[in-house]
Structure 1
Amino acid sequence: MAEPTTPPPAAPLVLVEHTTPFKKGSGSNQNYASDHTQGDYEAYLKQDVAEEVIITVADFLEWILLAPPGWETELDTQSIVGEDQFKTLLAKYVEVANKETSHRETTMYRPFIELANRCLIDLGLRKKKPVDSDLIFCRNDPTIIRGSDAQRKPDVLNVLMGIMKARKLNIDELLDKGPSEPFYWPNVLAFWEFKRGKTKTTADVATVAKQPSSKSKTKTKAHAPTRQSPRGSTQVNSAKSETSDARLEVTDPSSAQKPSGSDNNDQSVKTASPQIQCASYALEVLSNGGLRSHVISVLVSGKSLELLYYDRSIVVKSQPLDFTDDLSTFLAILHRFGSLNTAQWGYVPLVPIPRPLPPGSTSTFSPSFYDGDELNLRDMTLKLGVIVFRAHGIIGRGTVVVHATVLRAPPNNPGLVNKSVIVKWSWSPKSRAREADIINQARAHAADTNMRRHLPEVLYSEDLDGSIPECHRHLMKHLPDEYEARVITVIVLEVLKPITELSDPNELATALRGIFKCYRWLYETVKIMHRDISVNNLMFHRVGEKVYGVLNDFDLAVWLDGENSTSRQRTGTKPYMARDLLDASPPPHRYRHDLESFLYVLVFLTCKIKGSRLARWASLPMDDLRDAKIATITAGFPPAKDEFRAFEVEWIRPLRKLFTTGTTNQEDYKDQLAAAAFRDNAPPPEFDNATLDGAVTFAKFEDILASIK
C-alpha cells in the first residue's frame, strides 16, 4: 500500500479559519483564501485592530522594548543633544515636518534616517562603518518587499547591516530611494511609517470613562493609571479581537518596484487609515517573516510618533510622543531599538531564521521556506520540507503546517525514523485543552478499530513554554484582562490526504458519512464537540482498498462536561460557520451549528462555486456573511457539478430543508412570545434551541446521509 501523502489543498476549495466566544480577529477567519480585493483585506485587518490597548510611552519602553528600571536617567542624552551635528540634523527634520501640506511625506524620510542613524552612533550602538550585526535605518518606499503575494512597501525599515551586504546595498543608496534589490519579509526587524500632520492626542482616562461613544462598535475601557510616563498618564483603550487561524492573501504578481503611489494594492491600504496600513505590514511580518512571536514598529506623524506592537493576542500602541521636544525619551527609544537581540525582536529560535534570498529571487512566498531546516524538540528531531499551510493573520494561533521527515524518534517509537510526517506548530491559548490530549483521549475511547480510523494519530507533541518572549510575560502581568496567554505547541501527526482529492462520488459519500458518524460518536459517547467543521479539516486515508474519512484538527474542540472554551475566540472556520455564530454576540456553540457547517462543506465540495455568490463568502465581513447565508439557506445553493448530481438531490436539498424548517420554527416561536406578551397570556412551551425544536437532529441528519449508498 502506498504511503498516504498530504499535498497542499486544492486552490478553489481552501478558504479560511476563525475562533472566539469573545473576540473577532482575523487569524481564525481565513486560511488559504485567494483573489481578494483590497476592500476585503481591509475588513479583516479592521477585525485585528478593532480593539487595541493604549499605554504610555514609558510603559511601552519597559514592557515591550525591555528598558531597564531607571532608563530615564541611565543614558547620557544631554551630551548627544548638545552636539552641533545632532542639532543640525534635528533642525532639518523639524523644518520638513513643519511643512504639513506643501510637501509629500517622502521628504521626511532622508532627514529622519540621517538623524536616527547618527543617534545610533552617538549612543555607542554602532560604528561609523557598521558591522553585520548592527541595526540601521534605511528607506524602503517605493520598493515592494518580497516573500509575499501582497504588494507592500513600508516607508522606512530597520534591518541588520549583514542583510544590506547580502542584498549588495549600502546606506547612502537608501537615503533618497528604495533598494534596487528588494528586501525580504524575514529581513524586516521593524517598519517606520510616515504621515503628514499631527497625531490626534489620546483622550484623558477620565474623559474616556465619562464619555463612551454610543455610536462606536468598539468597546472602550478605561484603566486606572499604572504609572506616570514622562509626558502623561497611562491609559488603556482596550480592544481585543480574535478568530481562528488564517486569513486572505492578496495576489498581484506585478513588478517588485513601482513609483511611489502607483501601486493600487498598497495604495488602497494607505488611503484607508494609518492604523490599517501599519497593521497590513505587521500582518506580512507575522505571516511571511519566519517564525515570529511579535512585531514592534512605529507610526510617525510629523513631529509625533506612536510605538506599535502586534502579537497573536493583542495590538498595543503608545500614546503620542513629540519626539522633537522630548529628546531624552526619543533617544531612549532608539537605544532600545539598537539593543534588542533577535529573540527580543520576535524571532523564535525553534527554527532557524530564514536565510537572505540571493539577488533576483522570486517576489512571492515559497512553500520551501523551511525546506532542509531541522526542528529539534526534546525527544524528536525533524527535517522540515514544504509548507502545507500557514495562517495569514495577526490575532490567532499563527498555525504553520509542514511536511517533515523524522531524523530522531522518541524512545517509545523508534520505528518513526525516516518516516514522513506532518508537523504543526501554533500559538495555542494556555487556557485551552491541548489538541494532542483531546485526540489521544478520543482514540482511547474507541474500542472499535474502525472508529479510530476516522481520527488522526498523534505521533508526538510538546509545549515550548521556554519560548515565551519576555515582552509577552510583561503584557500578561500588566494587562491580565486584555492579554490571552499563549504557548507554542508542536504536534507531529500521521500524513493524511485532503478530502478534496476524492473525485469518485461513492468514495466521497463513504468518507463524509464516516466523518459524520465519528463526529456524532465523539459528541454522544466521548463528550467532545469539534466546533470547526471545514473543508480543510476533513481528510481521508486508505486501508487496503477502503476509504476512511478522518475528522482532523481538534484545535477548537472542547469537553462537553467541562467549561466551554475559555479562549477568547469565536469558534469555527468562517465560510463554514453557522449563521448564529456570525452574530455580534454569538450564542453558545451547539452541535447543530457543526451540522450546519457540514452542509456548507458538502456544498463547497460538490457544487459549482466559481462565479456564484458563495465564492465571496471567504471575504465578506461577519455581518454581511450572516445575511448572505440566511439568504442562501432560503433561496438554495448553486447547482451541483455533473458528477455530484446525486449529492444535490439526495443530501443537499433535504439537509437544507432541515435548517429552513428549524428557522421557521424559531420565527414562529418568537411570534408566539410576542403575542403572549401583548395579550398578557402565559408564554408558550419552552423552545428547544439546541435542535431548533426538533428540526435539526443527529438522527434526521444520519437518515439523509444513508440515502447515497
Structure 2
Amino acid sequence: MRLFIVSKFSPLPIYIPPSLPAIPYIQRDDSCFEPLPPSHPLHPLHFLFLLSQHSHTFNNSPPDIMRAASFAGVVPRTPPRSSPHAQTQVMSTPLARGSSSQVDLADNHKVADINTYLEEDIKDRVYLDLEVFLKLVLDFGDAERKKKETKINNVMKNENFERVWNYYRGLCGLGSTTEKGLYEPLLKVIETAMKRLFPNQQPFTHFNEGDKFILGSYARRKPDLPALRPIFGLDCQTAEDKLTKVHWPMVEPFGELKLTPKQGGKRTGFALDWADATPGETPQAVTAPATQNRYNLRPRSASGGSLPNAFPTQSHTRSLHPIPETSTHAESKNEEVEAGKKNKKKGNKGTKQKKKTLGDEMEPEEENLLTKPSDRRLHTLLQCAGYGLESLSSGLLRTHTVGFVMDGTFFQLCYYDRSKVVLSKPVDLSEPNSMFLFLATLYQLGSLSDEKQGIFPSKGDGKSLPTLEPSVNERYTRREGGNYTSGPITGDSLVFPGGNAFSGCKITVGKEVFHLGELVHRAHAIIGRGTTVVRVKWNDKDAIMKLSFCGAERTPEEELVKSARAKATEEGHDWALNHLPNILYSAEYNLAGLAEDRLATYFEQQRISYERRVLRITVQEVLTPITDAVLEPKDYAQIFFDVLQIHRWLVDHAKILHRDISMANIMFREKDGKIYGILNDFDLSSRLPPESKASSRQRTGTKPYMSHDLLNPSWVHGHRYRHDLESLFYVILIFCSDYGAKGEEDKLVKVTEPHFQKWFTGSFEDVRTGKISWLLEDKPLIQVTEFFREFGVFYLTKLRDLVIEGHQAKNVYRSAWHKYKNSEKGHKEYGYPFTQVFTETFEWETLNDTVTYEKFRDVMKSFPVRTSSGKWEPFQLTMHYENPLPLNSSDFGPPPDNDTLV
C-alpha cells in the first residue's frame, strides 16, 4: 500500500513509504518519486504531524492510494509538465478579484496567456436586467425613453427594417446557416436601423471584420463586428482593403455574433452567461459565485485549421474555468460543472504543421467542438472580455467600454470598467419590447456624449473628464497625404501597442494644457488602476504624466510624496530628497454623473461590492527606468541599495509603507555626475499605522514581485514591512535574470526566454505556488546573465538565503503549533490528561529576525568588483541610513496569532 499526503494547493503528493518512520518522497509523476530534502520543513517530523492531523480524511481512491488534504501552503507545487500553463486555483475572497497593479506585459503573449489573468478580472462579474443595464450604463432612464420613444417605434414599424430583420431571423432558424453566414445580414439590420435613427450622419458604422485582426494589441483579436467613427474615413463597401489598417484606438462599441446549438429544440440565448432564472422572473442583479472548476478548451491547431483531427500543439493549450450555473439571488451558489477532458487527436500522417508566434482566437468551426454549453459560454465570456481589455488598454483613453453579443436572435450587452464586469440579461429580439431595447441601445450609443460613453472628450469644459484634442494621433484620421505633426503609428502586434497613439494630441486638465508624446507604459488589465504613463511637454519643459484610476478611499500619491519631502527637510535628512520623486502638478476627477457613479450607487443599495474610483493625474519630473540605460553593474547595485534605504526611512520617519516594490517603480536620476536610485509610484502606498478600513478591495502589489504570503487568499494579516523586502529581492532577481548585454540606443536587451516568465503570465495561485516551490527547492537556481554575473553568488544568493531561512522558520513554528493543538484535541476527545504547555514564540514582523533591514543592508552595502589583477574585492556603496529606528510591529496592524496561521 502507498500512503500519500497532498496539500490542497499542490498536485505534488508527499509519499510515505510503508516502513515508518522513513524519508518521505515527492511524487513527480506516476512512476517517479524524489526524496524530500532534509532541509524541507516537512522532513520528517512535520509530515508525521500532518498524518495524525488529517487521518480522518483518508479514503481509498484507488484502493492502493490514500490521500489527505493538508493545511495551505505546506507542500510546494510545480506546474504539471504536460501543460505549458499552470492550472489556476479559484480564490473566493475579495482580495482574489484582480490586482491593484497589473503588470504591463511587454512581451509577445498568446490569447491563452492573457486569459489566465482575464479569468481573475471576470470572476466578480454582475448581471443586470437589460432595462436596468440601459438605465445605469447608457443613461436610458424614463426621461430619455420618453424623448426617443417615437423615433424608435417608427423604426420598428418601417417596412424596410422589418424586411431585413425577418430575413436575418429566418436564416437563424435554418439548420444549414453558419455563424459567418450571418455577419452581413446582421450588419444590414444594424445599418438600416442606424440610417433611420440618424438620418443626417451616422455616429459610427459596424464592419464585417472577417479574418482581419485589429492591430496594436498583444494578442491577435478579431471581433466580428467592430464599429468605427466616420472620422477614420473607412468604408467597408468601397475600401475594404483599408480595414487591414484598423487599430484598437479606432474601435468604438464592438459586436460579437454567435450561433450556439439549440437545446430542447430552441436556442436559449445564453451566449455569455446568465442566471438560471425561472420563466417570468426578472432578477435585478446577480453576482457570479466565486467557486468554479477548471476545464481544458480544445486549442486552435498550429496550422490554423479547424479540422477535428488537427493535433493541438502544446504551445497553444488553453486551460480555463467553466462558467457556473447561477441562481437568481444577489450572492448565488453554483452547481459545479464537471471538468472536461483534453481532446487530443492525431493529425493526418505526413501533415506538416507551421508553428505560430502568437496564439489566435478560435474560429467558429473550432468553437463547435465545445460540446458543453458552459464551455461555450466561458469561451465567449473570455473572448468578449479580451475585446474589453484591448479597448481599455490599447484603445482610446477611456473609463469604460461597452459591447454586445448576438446569439441568433438573442441580444446581450457587456460592460467593462476598472472595478467590475457587468452583463445584461439576454432578450429575444423576436419579441416587440425586446426589439425596442435593441434599437434603444443603438440610439444611446450613437447619441451619448463622449464622457457618458467613457471616452475622454475632444471638446468641452473638461469638468467630467480631461479634454483630449484630437482623441487619437492625427495619423489615424488623415489616411493619405498632408503634413503630420505627430509621430508614426506602430500598431503591429509584435510592437508595444499604440506607442504613439496619442502623440501630438493636446490634453487639458483643469486650466493646464499638456502636449502628449510617446507612451511610456499602459497597464494591460480590466480590473485595477489602468495606469497610463506618457511623456508630455508642459510650459516648454519635458515631464511625465501619469493617469491612474485609483480607489477613491486611497490617500493621493501627491499628498504622500509631499509629506515625505517635507519630513526630510524638517528633520535635516536632505539625502532623502534625492531618492524621492518630485511631483509638479496633480488633479483629480470623481467621475460624477458617469456610468461608474450610477453603478456604484446602485450596487451600494444592492449590497454588491464595487470599488468607487477616481481618475488621478500627476505630472512629475522625468526619471530614468533602470531598463532604459546601460550602467555599470555596481551602479545598479547602488540604485537598489538606495531604494532599500529610502524605503526604510519612509517607514521610520514619514510613516509610509510603499507596498508596490516593482521593477517599473525603481528608477534613477543623475545629479552632479552621480546616480541616485529613486522609489517611485506611491499610488498603492499607505500611512502607518494602517486605517482600520481597507482602502482597496484589491491586492496591493505587482504580481511577479509580491511575497507569496500576499498572493495567498487566506492571508488576512495585512501588508508587513518584510513583504516589501521580499519584493525588492524578486525585483533584483528578475532584473538580473532577464536583462543582458548592450543593445541599440544604449539600452539593455531582454533575453528571449525569461527564466521567471510564468510569474508574469500565471494566475495569482500559480505564481504563489511557483514561488513556494522555487524557494523550498534544495538549491534554488540563481540564473543571471553574463552582464550581471557579479550579482550571482556574492549578492543574490545571500539575499535568497535570508528569504528562504525566514519562510522555513515560519513553517517550522507553524507545524509545531498545529502539532500541539492536534495533541490537545486528541487528549480532550479521549478524556486523557493534557499537561503540555506551548512555550515557543515567533517574531512575525521579521520571521524570527531573518528578513530584516539590517541583514539586507549588510549584504547590499558592498558589491563584488574585479580588480585589474583579476581578483574579486568588495566595493563599498554609499551609505545614507545606517541606523534605522526600531521597527514597531503595531504600525502594520495586528500580527498573525497562532489560531489564524496559514
TM superposition score category, shorter chain reference? 0.7 to 0.9
Does residue 511 (structure 1) correspond to residue 626 (structure 2)? The answer is no
Does residue 483 (structure 1) correspond to residue 593 (structure 2)? The answer is no
Q: Which stretch shows the higher mean deviation, 71-80 or 698-707? A: 71-80
Partner-residue secondary structure (3-state), 2:362: helix
1:105 Cα deviation from its structure 2 partner: 0.8
Q: Which residue number corresponds to residue 62 of structure 1? A: 135
- TM-aligned CA distance change 1:594 to 1:210, over 3 Å: closer
Q: Which residue number corresponds to residue 517 of structure 2? A: 385
Q: Which residue number corresponds to residue 553 of structure 2? A: 431
Partner-residue secondary structure (3-state), 1:266: coil
What CA deviation, in whole Å up to 9, does each residue of 1:428-454 have, x standing for no partner? 211100001001101111132111101
1:173 Cα deviation from its structure 2 partner: 5.2
TM-score (norm 1): 0.83
Does residue 189 (structure 1) correspond to residue 284 (structure 2)? The answer is no
- TM-aligned CA distance change 1:459 to 1:320, over 3 Å: same
**Kept in 2: contact 1:143–1:182 (CA 8 A):** no
**Kept in 1: contact 2:782–2:796 (CA 8 A):** no
Q: Which residue number corresponds to residue 84 of structure 1? A: 159
**Kept in 1: contact 2:535–2:545 (CA 8 A):** yes
What CA deviation, in whole Å up to 9, does each residue of 1:36-78 have, x standing for no partner? 2332111111111111010111101111111131666661355
1:422 Cα deviation from its structure 2 partner: 1.0
CA distance in structure 2 between the partners assigned to 1:620 and 1:346 by the alignment: 30
CA distance in structure 2 between the partners assigned to 1:695 and 1:220 by the alignment: 47
CA distance in structure 2 between the partners assigned to 1:322 and 1:214 by the alignment: 30
What CA deviation, in whole Å up to 9, does each residue of 1:200-248 have, x standing for no partner? 3522399999997865699999887xxxxxxxxxx67799xxxxxxxxx
Q: How does 1:535-574 map to 2 (within 5 A)?
A: 535-563=663-691, 565-574=694-703
**Kept in 2: contact 1:313–1:484 (CA 8 A):** yes
CA distance in structure 2 between the partners assigned to 1:107 and 1:581 by the alignment: 49
Q: Which residue number corresponds to residue 181 of structure 2? A: 107
* Paired amino acid for 2:623: L
Structure number with greater CO (CA < 8 Å, separation at least 6) is: 1
1:146 Cα deviation from its structure 2 partner: 2.7
CA distance in structure 2 between the partners assigned to 1:517 and 1:220 by the alignment: 51
Does residue 614 (structure 1) correspond to residue 756 (structure 2)? The answer is yes
CA distance in structure 1 between the partners assigned to 2:705 and 2:641 by the alignment: 18
Does residue 199 (structure 1) correspond to residue 269 (structure 2)? The answer is yes
- TM-aligned CA distance change 1:458 to 1:306, over 3 Å: same
2:446 to 338, 360, 368: 338
CA distance in structure 2 between the partners assigned to 1:120 and 1:572 by the alignment: 45
Does residue 375 (structure 1) correspond to residue 447 (structure 2)? The answer is no
Q: Which stretch shows the higher mean deviation, 599-608 or 678-687? A: 678-687
Partner-residue secondary structure (3-state), 1:478: helix
Q: Which residue number corresponds to residue 589 of structure 1? A: 719
Does residue 135 (structure 1) correspond to residue 204 (structure 2)? The answer is yes
- TM-aligned CA distance change 1:262 to 1:425, over 3 Å: closer
- TM-aligned CA distance change 1:441 to 1:211, over 3 Å: closer
**Kept in 2: contact 1:402–1:422 (CA 8 A):** yes
1:526 Cα deviation from its structure 2 partner: 1.6
CA distance in structure 1 between the partners assigned to 2:359 and 2:689 by the alignment: 51
1:485 Cα deviation from its structure 2 partner: 1.3
**Kept in 1: contact 2:249–2:501 (CA 8 A):** no
Q: Which residue number corresponds to residue 37 of structure 1? A: 110
1:559 Cα deviation from its structure 2 partner: 0.6
Q: Percent identity?
A: 30
**Kept in 2: contact 1:238–1:482 (CA 8 A):** no
Q: Which stretch shows the higher mean deviation, 178-187 or 444-453? A: 178-187
1:596 Cα deviation from its structure 2 partner: 0.7
Q: Which residue number corresponds to residue 9 of structure 2? A: none
1:145 Cα deviation from its structure 2 partner: 1.8
CA distance in structure 2 between the partners assigned to 1:432 and 1:290 by the alignment: 26
- TM-aligned CA distance change 1:639 to 1:142, over 3 Å: closer
1:126 to 179, 184, 198: 198
Partner-residue secondary structure (3-state), 2:547: strand
**Kept in 1: contact 2:112–2:359 (CA 8 A):** no
**Kept in 1: contact 2:125–2:288 (CA 8 A):** no
CA distance in structure 2 between the partners assigned to 1:458 and 1:213 by the alignment: 40
Q: Which residue number corresponds to residue 243 of structure 1? A: none
1:184 Cα deviation from its structure 2 partner: 2.7
* Paired amino acid for 2:661: I
- TM-aligned CA distance change 1:21 to 1:705, over 3 Å: farther
Q: How does 1:248-647 map to 2 (within 5 A)?
A: 264-267=359-362, 271=367, 273-325=379-431, 326-349=434-457, 350=466, 351-352=468-469, 353-354=471-472, 355=474, 356-359=476-479, 362-364=490-492, 365-407=497-539, 418-446=540-568, 447-465=572-590, 467-468=591-592, 470-480=594-604, 481-500=608-627, 501-563=629-691, 565-587=694-716, 588-607=718-737, 610=751, 611=753, 613-635=755-777, 636-647=780-791
1:79 Cα deviation from its structure 2 partner: 4.6
TM-score (norm 2): 0.66
Q: Which residue number corresponds to residue 86 of structure 2? A: none
- TM-aligned CA distance change 1:126 to 1:209, over 3 Å: closer
What CA deviation, in whole Å up to 9, does each residue of 1:637-668 have, x standing for no partner? 33333453332222211211112211221121
- TM-aligned CA distance change 1:348 to 1:180, over 3 Å: closer
Runs (5+) with no aligned partner, structure 1: 1-19, 225-234, 240-260, 408-417
1:670 Cα deviation from its structure 2 partner: 2.0
Partner-residue secondary structure (3-state), 1:562: coil
1:343 Cα deviation from its structure 2 partner: 2.3
Q: Which residue number corresponds to residue 222 of structure 2? A: 153
Does residue 690 (structure 1) correspond to residue 880 (structure 2)? The answer is no
- TM-aligned CA distance change 1:589 to 1:98, over 3 Å: same
- TM-aligned CA distance change 1:193 to 1:238, over 3 Å: farther
- TM-aligned CA distance change 1:182 to 1:607, over 3 Å: closer
For these two proteins, the number of residue pairs brought into alignment is 636
**Kept in 1: contact 2:203–2:229 (CA 8 A):** yes
Partner-residue secondary structure (3-state), 1:150: coil
**Kept in 1: contact 2:529–2:548 (CA 8 A):** yes
* Paired amino acid for 2:762: L
Partner-residue secondary structure (3-state), 1:683: coil
CA distance in structure 1 between the partners assigned to 2:324 and 2:611 by the alignment: 18
1:506 Cα deviation from its structure 2 partner: 2.1
- TM-aligned CA distance change 1:186 to 1:690, over 3 Å: same
**Kept in 1: contact 2:257–2:406 (CA 8 A):** yes
1:150 Cα deviation from its structure 2 partner: 3.0
What CA deviation, in whole Å up to 9, does each residue of 1:397-430 have, x standing for no partner? 11111111222xxxxxxxxxx2211111111211
* Paired amino acid for 1:512: F
CA distance in structure 1 between the partners assigned to 2:558 and 2:291 by the alignment: 44
- TM-aligned CA distance change 1:51 to 1:21, over 3 Å: closer
CA distance in structure 1 between the partners assigned to 2:358 and 2:645 by the alignment: 50
Q: Which residue number corresponds to residue 228 of structure 1? A: none
* Paired amino acid for 1:685: E
Q: Which stretch shows the higher mean deviation, 272-281 or 607-616? A: 607-616
* Paired amino acid for 1:279: A
* Paired amino acid for 2:258: K
**Kept in 2: contact 1:51–1:219 (CA 8 A):** no
CA distance in structure 2 between the partners assigned to 1:111 and 1:615 by the alignment: 44
Partner-residue secondary structure (3-state), 1:62: helix
Runs (5+) with no aligned partner, structure 2: 1-92, 261-267, 294-320, 335-355, 368-377, 458-465, 481-488, 740-750, 825-835, 864-875, 877-902
**Kept in 2: contact 1:306–1:319 (CA 8 A):** yes
Q: Which residue number corresponds to residue 229 of structure 1? A: none
**Kept in 2: contact 1:405–1:419 (CA 8 A):** yes
**Kept in 2: contact 1:367–1:387 (CA 8 A):** yes
1:277 Cα deviation from its structure 2 partner: 0.5
